[in-house]
């Protein structure tokens, strides 16, 4: 998957969640969820990296995923969206 991100936001994400936004390209996507809370169309992707569940918040920018955040998914989210 092609991804792009702001390097400053990447540093913040590493400090807050312990993972670089660059790793989003490794996400094995298991679920897609629209996120209609914002003016810009956004979504959440749930999937696996290194055998662990992650949640990616992003938007589509001409076929490239602009990663907003990447964090470990909560068990409740995995159960709800992945099954």
CA 74 from centroid of its chain's CA atoms: 13
Provide the residue ranges of all domains of the chain, joining segments of one domain with +. 3-81
Give the DSSP H or E segment for 21.
none
Superfamily of domain 3-81: Ribonuclease toxin, BrnT, of type II toxin-antitoxin system (3.10.450.530)
Q: For the segment 9-34, what is each residue's pLDDT rounded down to a tens digit?
A: 999 999 999 999 999 999 999 999 99
Question: Looking at the whole model, is its pTM more than 0.75?
Answer: yes
Q: Which of 77, 78, 67, 72 has its CA nearest to residue 10?
A: 67
Is 1 a residue whose pLDDT tops 90? no
Instruction: Say how far apart CA 57 and CA 49 lie, in whole Å.
Output: 15
């Amino acid at each position: 998957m092609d991804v792009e991100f702001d390097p400053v936001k990447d540093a913040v994400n590493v400090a807050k969640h312990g993972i670089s936004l660059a790793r989003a390209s490794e996400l094995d996507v298991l679920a897609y969820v629209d996120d209609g809370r914002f003016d810009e169309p956004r979504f959440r992707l749930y999937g696996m990296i290194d055998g662990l569940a992650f949640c990616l918040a992003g938007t589509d920018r001409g076929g490239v995923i602009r990663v907003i955040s990447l964090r470990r998914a909560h068990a409740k989210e995995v159960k709800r969206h992945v099954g």
